[in-house]
Amino acid sequence: MALLTVSNLSLGYDSRAIAEGLTFSVSAGDYLCIVGENGSGKTTLMKTLLGLQEPVGGLISIGEGLKKNEIGYLPQQTIVQKDFPASVYEIVLSGCQGRCGLRPFYSKEEKALAGECMERMGIADLSSKCYRNLSGGQQQRVLLARALCAAQKILLLDEPVAGLDPVVTSEMYDLILGLNKDGITIIMISHDIAAAIRYASHILHIGDKVFYGTRDEYLSSDIGRSFAALQEKGVER
Amino acid sequence: MISKLALYFEYPMVRYALIVGVLIALCSSLLGVTLVLKRFSFIGDGLSHVAFGAIAIASVLNLTDKMLIVLPVTVISAVLLLRTGQNAKIKGDAAIAMISVGALAFGYLLMNIFSTSSNLTGDVCSTLFGSASILTLTKGEVGLCIVLSVAVVLIFIIFYNKIFAVTFDENFAKATGTKTDNYNLLIAVTIAVIIVLAMNLVGSLLISALVIFPALSAMRLFQNFKSVTVCSVILSVICSFSGIIISILAGTPVGSTIVAVDVAAFGLCYLAGAILKIGA
């Protein structure tokens, strides 16, 4: 059974739908890329999957013993975070907050987990550094480590490479691919169609036309071909 | 000078003023860091003006215990302002500005139309800029202030990790199972209580200063949340203590003296922060 099954989902605000008829499923170990034009509802879809907003219509069902709060999330950076005075350790540890319930303080295991996640993301030496003084790539690693603290099975990434330079971007993609190889299911929003085609196992294209299928199916579909060609032109220019 | 101080300390009202002043400074700076980071610096201002409006209503109604109306009205406004923060039709800062000036205007209007006092300007001025009322506190008021302060500090310590999570990234906290709405509500209620308490000290125009200056000063100096919080509390307590002492010795208004000391402390911290940065 799939980790996440979405059937005939409509997304939007105030019951006005901006995307309709989304049907797809995510199985354990998948690497799903969500692509589409600006304003097609990619971020809205992610927020709906996370339960931050209600779907306008349709169903999202979660299977295989995955609990609602076992989905890790890498959001786009907010303005608030740009100058936030917090150490890397404090931020990574806050990923464990969802497990705490009403318990006020973090347990030893949670602190150990935070250390482990920092190790895994290669930021253990930055532990006491201030978040706002880090580079963009390091900040993304911190947020990724926090997401790992929250969930070990499935991660939702909202444009994880936005604003990063090419070298750091490819490091970031490798890091994510590594997590996927370790068995973590990845759902990633991306503008970068080339990367989506290179790394993803499945692709969901939303916009005027909706496409869902494996990477190879996408490449041989009309919509995939035209979108990929467009992107290539952009790169050449 | 020392002997003059010693003489003043003979009076219980001076001691009360110091106790209350220090406690209020402590509480307001605790939540200050969160509010500044959540971009709610002006909520202190807005809420205190709401409280001013409520005081006006209470005096028009001739209530003996103004708290009965001031506290609930302020708490409700705080909840409305902080809760609707994300998907409101009118966004955070505009909503605060609207409520703030609206309440101020209505308060003054009410006081003007219905006032029985012979010294209206004096009344308004003392509500806005703080008055000698900090020097006329009764034992009961001091007791209430101590109880509420202890409650605020306890709440802050118990919910410290949750407040951090909600402040740093509300969406993430919500998505991973933290009941963010409840904690926002908690923050709103707490800040409303602190503001109503603080009105006695610095008056409704200057409360923002108590909330934001210590936090901003501490953020110049420290790089992690815990240190910033602790530092802002210590700074705030020192500033307000020395502000009260100076105002007693120099005969200046209590509220504005405390704020002036806060501003000076911010200046020093800014310089120190700049020097540290060059050094590092």
Instruction: Give yes or no: residues A89 and A110 share one domain.
Output: yes
DSSP at A191: S
Structural domain span for residue A136: 81-152
DSSP string, B113-180: HH---S-HHHHHHHHHH--GGGGG--HHHHHHHHHHHHHHHHHHHHTHHHHHHHHH-HHHHHHTT--H
Cβ–Cβ under 8 Å, residues B145 and B197: yes
DSSP string, B196-209: HHHHHHH-TTTHHH
Size of interface A-B (CB pairs under 8 A): 94
- Could you say which of A135, A152, A169 is where a domain stops? A152
Rounded-to-integer distance, Cα B259 and Cα A208, Å: 57
Question: What confidence score (pLDDT) does residue A233 get?
Answer: 58
Percentage of chain B modeled with pLDDT above 90:
19
Dihedral sign for Cα A165, A166, A167, A172, please.
positive
Distance of CA B39 to the CA centre of its chain: 16
Question: What confidence score (pLDDT) does residue A98 get?
Answer: 79
Residue A200: CATH number of its domain: 3.40.50.300
Instruction: Give yes or no: residues A157 and A227 share one domain.
Output: yes
Question: What confidence score (pLDDT) does residue A11 get?
Answer: 79
Mark which residues 20-39 of B lie under 8 Å from A by CB. Answer: 37-39
**Contact A81/B169, CB-based, under 8 Å?**
yes
Instruction: Give yes or no: residues A105 and A222 share one domain.
Output: no
Of residues B87 and B65, more confidently modeled: B65
Cβ–Cβ under 8 Å, residues B77 and B99: yes
Q: For B130-178, what is each residue's pLDDT tens digit?
A: 665 666 677 887 888 899 899 999 999 999 999 998 888 888 888 887 8
User: What is the rounded (10 degree) CA torsion for B189, B191, B192, B194?
Assistant: 120
Three-state DSSP class for residue A169: helix
Strands A4-13 and A71-74: unpaired
Mean of pLDDT values over B240-265: 89
A21 pLDDT more than 90: no
Structural domain contains residue A45: yes
Instruction: Give yes or no: residues A134 and A107 share one domain.
Output: yes
Rounded-to-integer distance, Cα B244 and Cα B135, Å: 10
Mark which residues 129-148 of A lie under 8 Å from B by CB. Answer: 129-130, 133, 146-147
A57 pairs with which residues across the strands?
A10
- Could you say which of A112, A137, A152 is where a domain stops? A152
Rounded-to-integer distance, Cα A132 and Cα A236, Å: 35
Q: Which helix (H) or strand (E) holds A145?
A: helix A136-150
In chain A, DSSP assigns E strands to 4-13, 16-26, 31-36, 57-62, 71-74, 154-158, 185-189, 202-206, 211-214
Residue of B198, B199, B168 lying closest to B37 (CA atoms)? B168
Instruction: Give yes or no: residues A15 and A47 share one domain.
Output: yes
Instruction: Give yes or no: residues A40 and A99 share one domain.
Output: no
Cβ–Cβ under 8 Å, residues B165 and B178: yes
Q: Which amino acid is at B235?
A: L
User: How many domains is chain A partitioned into structurally?
Assistant: 2
Task: Extract the tokens encoding B184.
Answer: 């926002």
Q: Chain A: nearest CA to B162, how far in angstroms? A: 7
Mean of pLDDT values over A92-107: 84
B269 Cβ under 8 Å from any chain A Cβ: no
Q: Which amino acid is at B26?
A: L
Structural domain contains residue A74: no
Three-state DSSP class for residue A130: strand
A237 pLDDT more than 50: no
- Could you say which of A152, A169, A201 is where a domain stops? A152
Q: Chain A: nearest CA to B223, how far in angstroms? A: 5
Q: For B19-78, what is each residue's pLDDT tens digit?
A: 888 998 999 899 888 888 887 777 878 888 888 888 888 888 877 777 778 888 888 888
Mark which residues 86-105 of A lie under 8 Å from B by CB. Answer: 86-87, 90-91, 94-95, 97-100, 104-105
What's the Cα-to-Cα distance from B129 to each of B53, B206, B254, rounded to whole Å? 14, 7, 9
Of residues A71 and A149, more confidently modeled: A149
Question: What confidence score (pLDDT) does residue A236 get?
Answer: 45
Mean of pLDDT values over A113-126: 88
Instruction: Give yes or no: residues A21 and A123 share one domain.
Output: no
Distance of CA A76 to the CA centre of its chain: 9
Task: Extract the tokens encoding B17.
Answer: 């003023």
Determine the Cα angle at B160 with ends B157 and B165, to 5°.
Answer: 175
Which chain B residues are within 8 Å of A97, Cβ to Cβ?
161-162, 165, 173, 176, 178
Nearest chain A residue to B226, by CA: A86
**Contact A90/B219, CB-based, under 8 Å?**
no
> Which stretch of A6-20, A156-170, B157-171 has the lowest confidence by average pLDDT?
A6-20
Three-state DSSP class for residue B63: coil
Q: Chain B: nearest CA to A234, how far in angstroms? A: 33
Confidence of residue B115 (pLDDT cuts 50, 70, 90): low
Task: Extract the tokens encoding B9.
Answer: 């300390």
DSSP at A231: H
A209 pLDDT more than 90: no
Residue of A28, A86, A166 lying closest to B229 (CA atoms)? A86
The average confidence (pLDDT) of chain A is: 82
Rounded-to-integer distance, Cα B1 and Cα B217, Å: 30
Which architecture, in CATH terms, is B2-274?
Orthogonal Bundle (1.10)
Mean of pLDDT values over A118-135: 88
Which chain B residues are within 8 Å of A150, Cβ to Cβ?
172, 176
Rounded-to-integer distance, Cα B173 and Cα B66, Å: 38
State the best of B172, B179, B181, B222 to mutate against chain A, taking most chain A CBs within 10 Å: B172
Q: Tell the residue number behind the tokens 């190889």, with chain if given.
A: A181
DSSP at A61: E
Instruction: Give yes or no: residues A225 and A160 share one domain.
Output: yes
B161 Cβ under 8 Å from any chain A Cβ: yes
Structural domain contains residue A27: yes
Q: Chain B: nearest CA to A77, how far in angstroms? A: 9
